[in-house]
Amino acid sequence: MSQPGTKVSVRRSDAEAEAARQHALRSAETVPSANVDVSRCDHKSENGRQCILTRHGDDTDHKFRTAGTRKEYAPLPEGFLAANTMEDVPEDEAPVQVKEITRSADQLVIDENVKAAYAAWVEAGKPAEFNKSPRKRRLVPPEYADTVRHMLDSAGTFLGYRVRIAPNKTHESGATMIYFVVTDKTERGKKNGDDK
């Protein structure tokens, strides 16, 4: 029996020998270890991996755990990129195909909310503080609050704005209130007033 993730290469003629070895391994757990030699095969692959079988005869193939397949890239010759220049794409050449982003109907509604909130923020003179900015809110059932918060963030990323979302509050009806302000993106590391 092989373990998951193990590469196994057993010839049909060795299947019975392998079954006997596996039986010996299972039996070794119930027999005192002083009476049974279950030491590992000391053969190593060219990559340095240890054979996972117990000691076995020369007619048995070695087995090794594999760490998964990694793509190997060919090394570039010294100075290759210095001699190989980047070039402009001619206008008559077909443009690169870009995957078109499909937005759901609900996401399009949130996109429009974010655009309107940004316009209100610009009209108010782009205040830096969250509480002095024209805040907007959405009332949603509590089970959808995280989804709507994610959609607001997604709209900000898609449209190139920064959506600042306050902690959720509960409305007297039991709905979750999500307060947010939409501003310009700030430089990395700088804060634009209060944060989320």
Q: What is the pLDDT of residue 169?
A: 93
What would the pLDDT profile of 20-31 be if each residue is shown by its tens digit? 666 666 655 444
Indicate if the pLDDT at residue 13 is higher than 60.
no
Give 182's pLDDT tier (boundaries 50, 70, 90).
Answer: very high
Instruction: Compute the mean pLDDT over every residue in the chain, rounded to the nearest whole number.
Output: 76
Give me the domains of the chain, ranges plus CATH numbers: 6-65 (no CATH), 105-183 (3.30.1370)
- DSSP character at residue 64: E
* Residue 72 or residue 104, greater confidence: 104
- DSSP character at residue 5: T
Of 70, 151, 139, 138, nearest to 106 (Cα)? 151
All residues at 6 or more sequence positions from 50 whose CB lies less than 8 Å from its CB, including other chains: 40, 41, 42, 43, 44, 64
Token pair, residue 150, equals 């994610």
Indicate if the pLDDT at residue 117 is higher than 70.
yes
Report which secondary-structure segment, H or E, holds 76: none
Q: What is the pLDDT of residue 78?
A: 80
Indicate if the pLDDT at residue 170 is higher than 60.
yes
Indicate if the pLDDT at residue 33 is higher than 50.
no
**% helix / strand / coil in the chain, to the nearest 5?**
35, 15, 55
Q: What is the pLDDT of residue 23?
A: 61
* Residue 188 or residue 75, greater confidence: 75
Q: How many helices (H) and strands (E) does the chain have?
A: 4, 6
Q: What is the pLDDT of residue 72?
A: 72
Residue corresponding to tokens 């996972």: 52
- DSSP character at residue 132: G
Mean of pLDDT values over 153-163? 93
Q: Report CA-CA distances (Å) from 99 to 96, 102, 150.
A: 10, 9, 22
What would the pLDDT profile of 55-72 be if each residue is shown by its tens digit? 666 767 777 666 666 667
